[in-house]
Amino acid sequence: MFAAYAARIDKDQPLEGLELGERPEPDVPAGWTTVDVKAASLNHHDLWSLRGVGLSEDLLPMTLGCDAAGVDADGNEVVLHSVIGATGHGVGPGERRTLLTEKYQGTFAERVAVPQWNVLPKPAELSFEEAACLPTAWLTAYRMLFTNAGVRPGDSVLVQGAGGGVATAAIVLGAAAGLRMFATSRHEDKRKRAVELGAEAAVESGARLPQRVDAVLETVGAATWSHSLKSLKPGGTVVISGATSGPNPPAAELNRVFFLELKIVGSTMGSKEELASLLSFCAAKGVRPVIDSTLPLDRAREGFAKMAEGDLFGKVVLTV
């Protein structure tokens, strides 16, 4: 079957390790099933995999891709939950959780095998391309907002780095849920898009907000950390799920943290139950993922390059 896969690890030039071509059909252990992939979306996780983060060379070649929507063996339209081993379903209770592509072959292929437990019904209201955007970036944003930030309708939230998959999802989901959303970006066009998607205001990275906020969603890391803390109200919360600019800010600003009683909460992906709720929320409220571009699988290299350059707003989707 045709697939996009990591053939080599290259920390400095990750796209040098990306290959497109034939791969074996997936193995299907007991308790697993296969899904014919109709659409799959790119995540920064795929670039990190090509750099060897979370993926060791002894597991190469590895088909990339965490997210997918498709058709199962019984002809049902489905969405995949990307976390394997969180519950023991299909792998045994002693196995640590991993994302697809960290141990098991991913979704950038004609077919993928996953535990039966990881398959959810796709709402008819969502296209395959839309549904394929949800299991990683949108689920991460959903958990950050509605599980870990502790905010309610009417509260204010800052999203750092408008344009990325998680950040874009958070703006759309938060606005749909009645939150007052704010955003930052270095790029004027991305700030404009953030407002069009429901942000009350979007400012340059590091600029003062119109008001302090109840929560900050942080995926950028070192470059925005100080601004995130300074943007919070006393008692506010920073929820962090990534650090694309680096994990070690030059100053932790602990005095600000304890004096203002700020909370710092880590957040990773989301549960199968949260993904089911996200699917239902999108179907019921007419919320749709923001798709930057859609490409056939054999043009996956173009999508990877676009993501590596940061030249996108929303998700890149690959269709099979």
pLDDT value of residue 92: 83
Q: State how many domains the chain has.
A: 2
Amino acid at the residue 201: A
What is d(CA 87, CA 84) in angstroms, rounded to the nearest whole number?
A: 8
Where are the extended beta strands (E) located within 87-129? 98-99, 111-115, 119-121
Q: Read off the pLDDT band of 251 (50, 70, 90).
A: confident
What is d(CA 117, CA 119) in angstroms, rounded to the nearest whole number?
A: 6
Shared domain for 21 and 116, answered yes or no, is yes
Angle at 192 between CA 187 and CA 197, to 5 degrees: 125
Q: No. of H helices and E strands in the chain?
A: 9, 18
Tokens 């099933």 correspond to: 33
The boundaries of the domain holding residue 219 are 136-266
Angle at 208 between CA 205 and CA 212, to 5 degrees: 115
pLDDT value of residue 247: 87
Shared domain for 117 and 146, answered yes or no, is no
Q: Read off the pLDDT band of 243 (50, 70, 90).
A: confident
pLDDT value of residue 34: 97
CA distances from 91 to 27, 78, 117, 292 (A): 13, 21, 11, 35
Residue 6 lies in a domain: yes
Mean pLDDT of 37-51: 96
Residue 23 lies in a domain: yes
Residue 88 predicted with pLDDT over 80 = no
Residue 261 backbone zone (phi > 0: left; psi -120 to 50: alpha; other: beta): left
Amino acid at the residue 256: R
Mean pLDDT of 63-82: 97
Residue 86 predicted with pLDDT over 80 = no
Mean pLDDT of 170-199: 96
Residue 159 lies in a domain: yes
Q: What is the pTM of this model?
A: 0.93
Shared domain for 85 and 149, answered yes or no, is no
Shared domain for 74 and 170, answered yes or no, is no
Token couple for 285: 């409220």
41-45, 130-134, 164-168, 315-319: least confident range? 164-168
Percent of the chain exceeding pLDDT 90 equals 88
Residue 276 lies in a domain: no
Token couple for 65: 């891709």
Shared domain for 122 and 11, answered yes or no, is yes
pLDDT value of residue 245: 84
Percent of the chain exceeding pLDDT 70 equals 100
Sheet arrangement for strand 180-185 = 201-204, 180-185, 156-159, 213-218, 232-240, 263-266
Query: Which one, of 230, 218, 319, 222, lies nearest residue 265 by Cα?
Result: 218
Collapsed DSSP state (helix, strand, coil) of residue 155? coil
61: domain CATH number is 3.90.180.10
Shared domain for 120 and 242, answered yes or no, is no
Shared domain for 124 and 241, answered yes or no, is no
Shared domain for 6 and 124, answered yes or no, is yes
Identify whether the C-beta of residue 226 lies closer than 8 Å to the C-beta of residue 220.
no
Residue 180 lies in a domain: yes
Residue 278 lies in a domain: no
User: DSSP assignment, residue 109?
Assistant: B
Residue 252 predicted with pLDDT over 90 = no
pLDDT value of residue 242: 85
Query: Which one, of 177, 160, 77, lies nearest residue 119 by Cα?
Result: 77
Residue 224 lies in a domain: yes
Residue 299 lies in a domain: yes
CA distances from 248 to 178, 206, 254 (A): 33, 17, 14
The per-residue pLDDT of the chain, averaged, comes to: 95
Shared domain for 102 and 190, answered yes or no, is no
Mean pLDDT of 60-76: 97
pLDDT value of residue 134: 97
